[in-house]
Amino acid sequence: MDYIRVIPCLDIKDGRLVKGINFIDIKDLGDPVEAAYAYSQAGADELTFLDISATLEGRGLLLDTVARILDRISIPLIVGGGIASMGDIERILDAGVAKLSIASAAIKDPGLIREAAKKFGSQPIIVAIDAKSRPDGGYNVYTRAGTTDTGIDVVDWAKELEQLGAGEILLTSMDTDGTKMGFDIRLTRQVTEAVTIPVIASGGAGRLEHFAEAVTEGGASAVLAASLFHYGELSIFEVKKYLREKSIAVRMDESHG
């Protein structure tokens, strides 16, 4: 059985946990290591660590923070931000990270995805797509923390990524990110219908129903959220309990309730 995964996201800037709205208006929310431990204990299926300023600042990932998180958690960690070479990928996987998320570097050098998948297998290779809607109903891929419009169509890019060997897509709607108005179901469905690899829906969760919609209407294999969990508006357990009530398969440990 394929279980739907519930994934909290830690956006990291200057070593601190932060959250913004529509990729701007960034607020400091504390120590990412403590947050990671809390989510691991709370029943998250995986945890995403995104160093949101690494690419813009032209530096590598904060591997010391990653190492401290790995020491505290017992669930798979997905790491992204500033990953630009095979050397970066090797260092991150060698550190014990389960999966890594590549975004801007994949656009710059699609061959990196093919090479990484060939060497490490598709399973650990996630490509993050930051998507913004166009007036014609399609979506463009944005890079460099959502600051640069590549002009590339999201669905075309998703199909290419599957061909290159990516194991999963982390799909974030820039239009709904941080708004709590719900995932962009139209975007999610466009991508899940175009590829066979798992798609993580990200950006906009605000209520329990939104998580179910991402799965039943959007076709997502996993749902990711940040603000809701960080501010304690919903717990991992509440989300999983609701999904199970909607006949969506999730892994649950009743002790987390």
Give catalytic residue positions.
Answer: 11, 130
Task: Identify which of 136, 137, 45 has the alpha carbon closest to the alpha carbon of residue 98.
Answer: 45
Task: Identify which of 250, 222, 225, 223 has the alpha carbon closest to the alpha carbon of residue 237.
Answer: 250
Q: What is the distance between the alpha carbons of residues 249 and 215, in angstroms, rounded to a whole number?
A: 10
- Beta strand pairing call for 168-173 and 148-153: unpaired
Q: What is the distance between the alpha carbons of residues 10 and 74, in angstroms, rounded to a whole number?
A: 16
Task: Identify which of 113, 112, 126 has the alpha carbon closest to the alpha carbon of residue 200.
Answer: 126
